[in-house]
Amino acid sequence: MDSIDRSTDSRVDEVRVPLAALKGRGTANAFPHRFERAAREAFDDGWPAAEEDAAPAPRTEVIWETARSIITTNDSPDIYFGQSVNPYRGCEHGCIYCYARPTHGYLNLSPGLDFETKIIAKRNAADLLRAELGRRSYRPELIALGSATDCYQPVERELRLTRGLIEVLHGTNHPFGLVTKSAGVERDLDLIAPMARQGLVTVFVTITTLDADLARKLEPRAAAPHRRLRLLRTLAEHGVPCGVSLAPQIPFLNDDLEQVLEAAWDAGAREAFYQVLRLPWEVAPLFRQWLAMHFPQRAERVMHRIQDMRGGKDYDSDFATRMKGAGTWAQLLRQRFGRAAKRLGFNARRQDLRTDLFRPPAPPGQGSLF
């Protein structure tokens, strides 16, 4: 191993491309976060690697956290919700493009492999939510569940933190929405379906592409595209208002936008939106590594087109353009989506979730008289 001082040069894009992908993981690299002063890289010393020297496949580690607060507010003009709740930090789905990867740097963890394998779970999420909804000053408005990382990622099957949050929202008639790539949401239909009948919930399913091979590379531990379509059908059959997210759109990779919209409409989705690829901070060099590994002949074209949408840069955080991009390709994509969505009937009527049914939770130890 070789120590490299980065105190005077913070260009993390110099980290080498891994020679092979890790099965079931978006990246094979414990990529250094931007706050690190030193990073380590493996190098070839000319000696053949012995079998006992091979690193074992990384396993998912759950790190419990006792959080101090749970509802996060934002006033970003390009985001439709004003408050959100995230029971997890990090995401086992391993989507290489995830814009939340850099947040692991605040925990002194890698936005690369650590983000996928070291999952921070907020053990007291439901209790905190109940307390914050019970404050006298609280005024109900839509809560977005899992706005940063998927609240139905694989560890939820055992930890059930999202289930606990929905139980609180169900008990208080509080509106919420979520976006997921997981069929795990079906487990909680006993709570979600009754809330849907009251106009309190909407669920979006992300389908980036119908190409199963590409999806497996982009989102290695998320549900397959056909399974997500089946999830949409199940939601629709249970009367849950559902939509499809086509985020992110990546030039020269997932070019089946119209086909995804058609399949989602047939499955029961009635709302749709898209976003273009966002590459903030460490996500840009990680995505470059992924391109070089999986699509080396296309990598340069993809990055050039991304930069065309970002004023010549890998990313531009301007609120006016960060979600949809700018330039000719972004305009063409906007037209394609608009025409296909209109032809199929998407977004003809948006459902505003109700807030008038909200009833604050009872104080601890005080039951209901009814």
User: What confidence score (pLDDT) does residue 6 get?
Assistant: 31
Q: Is residue 343 part of a domain?
A: no
Q: Is residue 28 part of a domain?
A: yes
Q: First CA to last CA across the chain, in angstroms? A: 66
Token digits for 43? 């190098």
Q: Residues of the chain with pLDDT > 90: what percent?
A: 79
**For the chain, what is the mean pLDDT?**
90
CA 98 to chain CA centroid, Å, is: 6
User: What confidence score (pLDDT) does residue 80 get?
Assistant: 87
Neighbours of 143 (CB within 10 A): 24
Q: Is residue 314 part of a domain?
A: no
Report the candidate in 250, 224, 213, 295 with the shortest Cα–Cα distance to residue 98.
250
User: What confidence score (pLDDT) does residue 43 get?
Assistant: 46
Q: Is residue 44 part of a domain?
A: no
- Report the CATH number at residue 164: 3.20.20.70
Q: Is residue 355 part of a domain?
A: no
Q: Is residue 72 part of a domain?
A: yes
pTM, entire model: 0.89
- Identify the residue whose tokens are 């983000």: 115
User: What confidence score (pLDDT) does residue 90 get?
Assistant: 98
CB-based contact 222:26 (threshold 8 Å): no
The domain of 75 spans 23-35+62-277
Report the candidate in 346, 324, 183 with the shortest Cα–Cα distance to residue 258.
346
User: What confidence score (pLDDT) does residue 7 get?
Assistant: 31
CA 54 to chain CA centroid, Å, is: 31
Low-confidence ranges of the chain (pLDDT < 70): 1-20, 31, 33-56, 364-370
β-partners of residue 4 are: 39
The total domain count for the chain is: 1
**Relative orientation angle of helices 161-172 and 125-133, to the nearest 10 degrees:** 20
